[in-house]
Structure 1
Amino acid sequence: MTCSVLFDFTVAVYTEAGTATTNKDYTHVSRNIPFSRDLSELVKIRIIDDDTVDHYREETFNVMLQNAPGVTQRIKPVRTPVTVVIRDNDGIGK
């Protein structure tokens, strides 16, 4: 956010698979985040490390923000989706 928050509100945050596989390459997140005049909130998404050489050298998933169900205030995220890139660390030469 780039401005002051004048009221409490809630946003929904969730992940969407791209070329990365949910719960194999990263842990899926889907939850509501309340903001009470805070300018930022932290969302942790676990990247799962394995010993598999992936088909793609880089895999992606998206993090989405939207209005939480049943919330009357409307938000306008600056950038959504946010694309996360996972680089394979199990390639040849490791």
Structure 2
Amino acid sequence: MKFYDRGFISIYKNYTQVQVLSAGTVVLNLEMYDDRICKDTFACQTYKSFNKEFLSSKYEDKFIKKLFEENKKNTLFRDKENNILIKIVKE
């Protein structure tokens, strides 16, 4: 997955939602629950299988959820070994 656009991070009581928009159209919609992650283009899956498919199987299960829920203005995660860059800038 490669996205270089703007989006929204919404943290609700039961899940965290990440939406990435390009030209006003949602190009990525993730809903992250405690036990699963759901993307609008596939059925929900475990964090372990999501990591294996999109990130790295070496990452802890809820890595992506914790990253988006960090209470920082700027978050930068770089994994050169797996060619992964995640940059979150909150305005």
TM-score by length of 1: 0.22
More helix by share: 2
| Structure with greater proportional strand content | 2
